[in-house]
A and B are shown apart, each in its own frame.
Chain A
Amino acid sequence: MGRIRHDAMDRHGGFEVVVACDTALDPTASVPMVTDPMAVYDYAPDVIVCSVPNMMIPDVVCTALERGKHVFSEKPPGRNSADVRRMMEAEAAAQAAHGGRVLKFGFNHRVHDAIEEAKKLIDAGTMGDLYFMRGVYGKAGGPNYAQNWRNDPALSGGGILIDQGIHMLDLFQMFAGRFTDVQSFVQRKFWTDVPVEDNAFALMKNAQGIVASVHSSATQWQHTFRLELYLRNGFISVDGILSASGSYGTEVLTVALNRLDATGSPIPNPESQELRFTEDRSWDKEIAEFHAAVVEGAALRCGTSQQALDVMELVEAIYAADPEWSTTRQQTPQTATE
């Protein structure tokens, strides 16, 4: 991820990468490298880009903010809402001490072209009121699935839902605001030797009565991203999401406005318009927004700490809403240090 961010900063301009920290030194690196996270401060950076495992995110982010740095951090924002609150406190303290410090999280799905286009269609009012949303986001485990830190709950905070499904939940809340009323089933089916879920199903409702359902899966053998929004006057769907691997396909936005019969009732299967997006500009847009926030003091629209807190609370609510899962989870010994 650090590499992707570095490339995006190079494309954008206005950034000078002064040092990179990794677990091992790369002799071919084009910038100075260190392995001790605290050593980066010897280079007096203005900005810290934090691409570390979930359990390390709060410490790295808080340290950077305490030292008056602007911070761009990957998602998820730590392992749980307590981690986010800790970072929000550091953010507030940095504001008080240094003023104008930026903390942005990498919820890049919000700025994918198809998603932005869907948002424009809804914001224009043409489609009418939003009724419900359905989201499916899934993949086929991955290499060394059981050994990956992502699947140690003490390090990651959870399984596929917090790792991947969190993007879908963030989009739900971008379109409809906060969801508080939640039902769920959380399961471990295939990857039974790891103590995190490989499937999460949730049904949720917000204060306006908008309903959303999500299925986040690590046993979706065919990589899939599909978001559907149904509104009074028609529907929108986004199929596929551009990613570094390309395995979720290109992004296809489909939108239709209903045709009405003589009595004003919708006729089934309206003409739809399909728009295809083939270039992933989300990394560039995120870096551009971060740059504008740091340099010009522009307000962040995507990846704010409040959005991070909202989505983390929703993740926790989904885990908690399946009593069987939350009981099992509490009984699972957590080996790594909290």
Chain B
Amino acid sequence: MQTPVFLDHLPDIDAVAGQKPAKYRLRRNQALGALLLDPTDPWQERKCCPACGQASDKNPIFSQALMEFRRCSGCNSIYAARTPDQATLDRLRLEQIAATAAEPQGDREFEFTSLLNWISLTEARLERRLDRVLDIRFASQAPAWPDATERLSHNRAWDFLHLEPDSPDFAGLRAAIAQAAPRAILMPAELDRAADPAALLAALKDAAAPGTVIFAASSCADGLEYEILGAESPSFVPLDRLTVFSIKGFETLSARLGLKVLEVSTPGRLDAVILDRYFKSAENRSIPFWSSFFREADKNRLRDLQILLQRSLKSGVLRFILET
């Protein structure tokens, strides 16, 4: 198994702490508020950690703001103690996308290139043609993505499965995979938002041919951002973080489902700038070592830290390459 490090510029803090992300967070939390009062009660309890399966009563509370989250003492994953059903989650995301469709989407070209290069370099290193890729719902979230694949991804045919309300066992997803018969599947933004991520991965495993390569990304509970700020982290939007996997948790789940892990990385680029922003604005927060570290840090030191976090698999985003 490989553990690559993805080195790049540190992004601008406004990417996470600006007006647009703040508005997004507010809308998502309003939707969550409405859902909590929903008389049809679409909620289901989680009796155990969705990653490693450890019973919830062994796992301490991570947060109780808005809704309850637990942190697994077995694998370090963070998870919502109960989740809405998949169709409800999908409907809420569609409403959110529709509500913001008219707003400027921002330039995501670097992110797109990073995903495409990830696939290209993996294809070369695996010595296996990945000439047919199925995108799982990323195109719905990033409308410019299909165009980017057209411009930047030659020698590869792309199919796009758009976001639409799916059943708990992802019947729609299964049918789309069977039809597209992809050599590779790209799923950059689903795992942490799914009601049952194990069911989502099982659907991929069942519906794809053996040997299909899955490129998955998610938020990562081992990230320094979550370790220090917990639920106060600006990227902790409860509805988008129903499961925040740890590396160990995701590896355990993959093994249980019979998926082979080919590569693990934590290519997050934001931990250092998020923590820097936090400690420089919250002047009276004091945490041994870290508060003074960040108050004194310049840009170079933040970059050094971010690279160290990546090399140690301790940044707030994870990427996995799996094989069915």
Chain A residues within an 8 Å CB radius of B311: 274, 276
CB neighbours of B7 from chain A (8 A): 254, 271-274
Could you list which residues of chain B lie within 8 angstroms of chain A, going by C-beta atoms?
2-9, 109-110, 113-114, 117-118, 120-121, 123-125, 127, 152, 311
Residue A126 interfacial (CB < 8 Å): yes
- Alpha-carbon gap, A272 to B113, bound state (A): 12
B contacts with A: majority SS: helix
Whether A271 pairs with B125 at a CB distance below 8 angstroms is no
Q: Do A271 and B117 touch (CB < 8 A)?
A: yes
Can you name 12 A-B pairs with beta carbons within 8 Å? A120-B127, A121-B124, A124-B123, A124-B125, A126-B123, A271-B114, A271-B117, A274-B4, A274-B6, A274-B311, A276-B3, A276-B311
With the chains together, A120 CA to B5 CA distance in Å?
Answer: 19
Q: Judging by beta carbons under 8 Å apart, are B5 and A271 in contact?
A: no
A257 in the interface, Cβ–Cβ < 8 Å?
Answer: yes
Residues of A within 8 A of B125 (CB): 117, 120-121, 124
Complex Cα distance A127/B125, Å? Answer: 12
Instruction: Assess whether A260 is interfacial by the CB under 8 Å rule.
Output: yes
Within 8 A of B (CB), among A261-304: 269, 271-276
A8 CA / B117 CA spacing, docked (Å): 37
CB closest residue in chain B, given A260: B152
Q: Is the CB of B113 within 8 A of A273?
A: no
The yes or no answer to A255 lying at the interface (CB within 8 A) is yes
Q: Is the CB of A271 within 8 A of B4?
A: no
A329: Cβ under 8 A from any B Cβ: no
Residues on A with C-beta less than 8 A from B120 are 126, 257
Q: Give the docked Cα–Cα distance between A138 and B159 (Å).
A: 50
Enumerate chain B residues within 8 angstroms of A120, measured Cβ to Cβ.
124-125, 127
**CB atoms of A274 and B127 under 8 A apart:** no
Are B124 and A271 closer than 8 Å at their CB atoms?
A: no
**A85 sits at the interface (CB 8 A):** no
Tell me if A6 is interfacial: C-beta within 8 Å of chain B. no
Contact B123 A271 (CB under 8 A): no
Chain B residues whose CB sits within 8 angstroms of the CB of A126 once the complex forms: 120-121, 123-124
Question: What CA separation (Å) do A276 and B1 show in the bound complex?
Answer: 11
Contact A271 B121 (CB under 8 A): no
Is A259 an interface position by the 8 A CB rule? yes
Chain B residues closer than 8 Å to A256, beta-carbon distance:
117
Other than A259-B109, A274-B311, give 7 A-B pairs with Cβ distance below 8 A. A121-B124, A124-B125, A257-B120, A269-B9, A271-B8, A273-B5, A273-B6
Closest beta carbon of chain A to B318's beta carbon, Å = 15
Cα of A123 to Cα of B127 in the assembled complex, Å: 9
